[in-house]
Structure 1
Amino acid sequence: MTPIFRLCDEHITRSAELDPVDAVYMGISGDFGVSTDYSPDGHAARHELLKSTLAALDTLEPKNDADRRAASHLRERLEADAAWYETGEQYADLSSPFGLLSTVRDSIDLLPTGGEEHWRKVAAHLAAVPGMLASWRSSLEEGVRRGVLAARRQAVEGAGAADKYAGTHDALVASYGDGPLAGELAKAAALAHQGYADAARYLREEYAPRAAERDGVGAERYAVAARRNLGADLDLVDAYEWGWAELARIEEEMRQEAHAILPGASVDEVIAHLNATQYVVGADAFLAWLKDKHDGAIAALHGTHFDIAEPLRTIDVTLAPGSTSGSAYYTAPSEDLSRPGRTWWPVGGREKFATWSELSTVFHEGVPGHHLQLGAVTVAGDSLSRYAKFSWVSGHGEGWALYAERLADELGWHTEPGTRLGMLTDSALRAARVVIDIGVHLDLPLPDGSRWSFEKACEVLRERGRAVEHTVHPEIVRYFGWPAQAISYKLGERAWLEARAEAASKPGFDLKQWHTAALDLGPIGLSGLRSALSSL
């Protein structure tokens, strides 16, 4: 192991020791404790680790290409994270439906439960929830003191999510049965549920009245967030204008696709027709449909356009009835592969599930999307640093997943009625995300000169982004509370497509080889993505 790879390994271990919750979520092997300190002192320790690792990196010289890639990625990510700390964002770390609250809650569902020792750790993690959320509240209070505030909307939405989390661990405890730890698990779950209830009360009654009125974070904070999510400094006004043009282009393609399904019908009429004809009823039927489509995609890809490692040929497909998210999401395999990659599908109170609009998301979250991408990193062996295996650049990762949706279309996988229109509506939603996210946070005018508001953002997502109704509210809350993450999909896809087009223009281009080489590189910020991929 070279000194740079050793530094990457040490940074992951020390990061896991300072943030055991994230270690569980990321699947890092090892026993790092059960509680993350989210107080100002805990944040200071993590910030200090970033700075000390960067200082150590400055003293090391790369010995080969793998070293240079590892050092470049480590530096870019740590500098982006350090800027986040230095602007005080840790004191306003409050977002919904994805955020610290959901990470703490979901991490418990990711713990292994294969034996008594594992169940003891589950109980310890549950019992630690109240203390962790109390430490988080101390950082939010420090933010109030410093004038670094989250938006009131995020506090109110976070309170609602915390209320819903109270009671959600009962099913996990019940799955243990009546063994000797049953009482300990029940007591620990009750502590966790009380912790969520206390957090809900604090957010609603104490924090919300003092929180920021404005949803947008402004240009300075947004630039830091964009760098952290995309790994690049972008011309955001240019990206905003591109987003509107891209949305219009997709809408024209949607009109053509709708006409192919029902000649003479509008997109709205075709969507109504598909909703009335292309669906399954009941959660069990939806889960069975999802599993069939995940398995079918793996079977179709392996040995043709990808060589999929044996441990990645299975995906755990999970319904998430307690999730407050409007969108499906993915968690990667654990480092030792004892925990498989998993796709999570919020139910949203539905009994009827429109399959025509869900198929493209299967490709996004499963294969050839996140599962293939993150799984390939997990099984990469010594060719990637340990830091690269556990770091994430949203522009790279979400860009690949959106590219994967388009690849599935190019491979002719949309054979069922309306599923290609479903892919296009998903693409329209991602383009709408670009204009909503940048427009809201930078307070840019819409093309007609009007200004953004929560209601206007919902309208654009619903009418131009074609979002399913039950997802509209949580999606907009997410964009407002997680600046610059929503733009990573379309802008990342653009970078992947440009890189592929450039590579394909050269003699001897082979798509399967290009895919393999691209995924083998691991995560890369968008600032270096095109040059890295186009030369493969």
Structure 2
Amino acid sequence: MTPIFKLCEDYVGKLAALDPIGAATGGVAGGFVPATDYSPDGHAARAELVRRTLAELAGLSATSDADRHAAAHLRERLEAEAAWHEHGEPLRMLRGQFGLVNLIRDSVDLLPRDDDQWHDVAARLHAVPVMLASWRASLDLGLARGLVAARRQALETAAQAERFAGVHDPLVASYGDGRLADELAAAAAAAHAAYAATARYLRADYAPRAAERDGVGAERYALAARRSLGADIDPAEAYAWGWAELDRIEAEMAGEIERIRPGASWQEVSALLDESHSVAGVDAYRGWLQEQHDRAIDELHGTHFDIAEPLRKVEVTIASGSTAGSPYYTSPTEDLARPGRTWWPLGGRERFAVWRELTTVFHEGVPGHHLQIGAVMAAGDTLSRFARTVRVSGHSEGWALYAERLADELGWFADPGTRLGMLAASALRAARVVIDIGVHLDLPLPDGSRWTFEKACEVLRERGHANSHRIHPEVVRYFGWPGQAISYKLGERAWMAARQAAGRHPDFDLKRWHTAAVALGPIGLDGLAGALERIN
């Protein structure tokens, strides 16, 4: 192992000790530790680890292409992380939907549950009140220093925490009446009480002192965009491109609507498809999702990709109690013992319009996140441990959107209804670009009006064609997580440009390019085009 690979290895191990929740969620192997310290001291310890690692990296020389790639990824990610700490962002780390409360809840559900592992489940449940209290200490310090999150995020997270009071009861019930039953029940009750206490704190103590404005401004947005993309962007260019891309997609949607029912409106066609292309009941929905995941793997393996045997299964998980509007993915563990999982919120639905969701199957599973992230986790020592476990949102989300386009090229949306669903999902991602940049930088809409929460919901509904159950949580997410929503479309743009450039080589072979592109591991968008062009 080279000194650079050894530094990457050491950093991942040390960070896992300081942030076991993040490590476990990201699939990092290691001994079980029940809690992450989210207090100011915990954040300071992680910031110091970043600074020490960057200083050590500066004294090392790369001896191979693998070394240079590992060093570049480590440096780029840690520099973005250092800037995040230096600006005090951990002290206002508060966002609805995909925030810390949801992470802590998921960290319980992700634990293995063999007979000898229920002790860990009980310990994690016991740790929930401790973790939430440490987080509140950081938020209190942020309030004292004038580093505050938006009031909307405080209230939305409070509502989420209230809904989580009781969320672990099905897990405890699944254990039965074994010898840990009483301990599990007591630990779950304590966790539920902590969710409720956090909701009260956010409503009564934090929200009255929080920022009224939702947007974060240019300086914080640039910091957030770099963290999500691994690149600096021209926000005005990206904003204009997002509107143009939305227009392009809507024109293509109009043609698809004509194929389904000439002269009909979007509303009429979507209502028709909701009736003809849907399943009823959670069990039928889960079964349909699993069947589509399995089919995609069967059809791609050996043809367009070589998928390692441990990755030829994606586990569908219904995200009970989740208020997130969007499905999401969690990776396998480093040892591949825990499978890759896709998580599907119900959104209060009992009937599921699968014509809209087939494209998301390919995004979250294969050839999307599971194929790319799973292949990286299975790469062994050809990639640094840091590259295997630390991703760049623009790289991975861009690949997942590219995967949806690839599915279209392969004819997997031959049914006009499912292709319309794919285009509607693409429109939603383009709407994310304009909402995210427009809100946080206070840029005008094309008609000169200004962004509000209601206007963002309108754009997502009318231009992004979002399902009704997704609109509110999606907009809450964009408002509370600046720079993340742009990673999908801007990442896709980078992947498509890289493939186009590589395709100009006379010996271009798509399967070979896919294999090599995935094998490179995560790359910031600043370096993506050059790295992908060189692989031919």
Q: TM-score normalised to the size of structure 2?
A: 0.99
Cα contact 1:369–1:402 (8 A) shared by 2: yes
Question: Could you tell me which residue of structure 1 aligns to residue 312 of structure 2?
Answer: 313
Secondary structure (helix, strand or coil) at the match of 1:53 reads helix
Contact 1:123 1:188 in 2 (8 A): yes
CA distance in 1, matches of 2:145, 2:404: 43
Superposed structure 1 runs of 4+ greater than 4 Å apart: none
Partners of 2:91 and 2:141 within 8 A in 1:
yes
Indicate conservation of the 8 Å contact 2:259/2:416, yes or no: no
**Given the alignment of the two structures, is residue 78 of structure 1 paired with residue 78 of structure 2, yes or no?**
yes
Contact 2:442 2:451 in 1 (8 A): yes
Shift of 1:424: 0.2
Kept in 2: contact 1:16–1:32 (CA 8 A):
no
- SS for the counterpart of 2:157 is helix
Query: In structure 2, what is the Cα distance between the partners aligned to 1:162 and 1:342?
Result: 23
Aligned residue in 2 for 1:400: 399
Gaps of 5+ in 2: none
Encode CA deviations 1:231-277: one digit per residue, 9 max, x unaligned: 00000110000000000000000001110111222222211211122
For residues 121 and 287 of structure 1, the distance between their equivalents in structure 2, rounded to whole angstroms, comes to: 28
CA distance in 2, matches of 1:349, 1:244: 31
2:494 paired with 1:495: yes
Inter-partner Cα distance in structure 1 for 2:470 and 2:68: 42
Q: CA deviation at 1:227?
A: 0.3
- Are the counterparts in 2 of residues 21 and 35 from structure 1 also a CA contact under 8 Å? yes
1:321/1:349 contact within 8 Å kept: no
Q: Which residue of 1 aligns with 2:273?
A: 274
The one-letter code sitting in structure 2 at the alignment partner of 1:482 is: W
1:97 is aligned to 97
CA–CA distance in structure 2, aligned partners of residues 230 and 474 of structure 1: 22
Amino acid at match of 2:162: D
Q: Distance in 2 between matches of 1:283 and 1:32?
A: 32
The residue correspondences of 1:44-443 to structure 2 (distance < 5 A) are 44-116=44-116, 118-443=117-442
Measure, in 2, the Cα distance between the counterparts of 1:78 and 1:378: 20
Contact 2:32 2:120 in 1 (8 A): no
- Alignment deviations for residues 108-157 of structure 1 (CA, whole Å, 9 cap, x no partner): 100111122x1111101100111111110010011111111100000000
Deviation at 1:28, TM superposition (A): 1.3
| Deviations, residues 328-351 of structure 1 (Å, cap 9, x unaligned) | 000000111110000000011111
3-state secondary structure, aligned to 2:316:
strand
Letter in 2 for 1:50: V
After superposition, give the CA deviation of every residue in 1:78-129 in whole Å (9 maximum; x if it has no partner).
000100001110010000100111111101100111122x111110110011
The one-letter code matched in structure 2 to 1:302 is H
Q: Secondary structure of 1:452's match?
A: coil
Report deviation, 1:417. Answer: 4.5
1:27 — aligned with what? 27
Aligned residues: 535
Q: 1: distance between equivalents of 2:139 and 2:199?
A: 14
| Partners of 1:279 and 1:353 within 8 A in 2 | yes
Q: What is the TM-score when the length of structure 1 is the normalising length?
A: 0.99
Amino acid aligned to 1:353: F
Aligned-CA RMSD value:
0.7
Distance 2:348 2:459 in 1: 24
Tell me the distance in 2 between the aligned counterparts of 1:194 and 1:141. 20
CA distance in 2, matches of 1:22, 1:266: 45
Query: Structure 1: how far apart are the matches of 2:491 and 2:408?
Result: 18
* Paired amino acid for 2:344: W
Q: Is the 8 A contact 1:17 1:32 kept in 2?
A: no
SS of residue matched to 2:262: coil
SS where residue 418 of structure 1 aligns?
A: helix
1:415 Cα deviation (Å)? Answer: 2.7
> Which 10-residue stretch deviates more, 414-423 or 240-249?
414-423
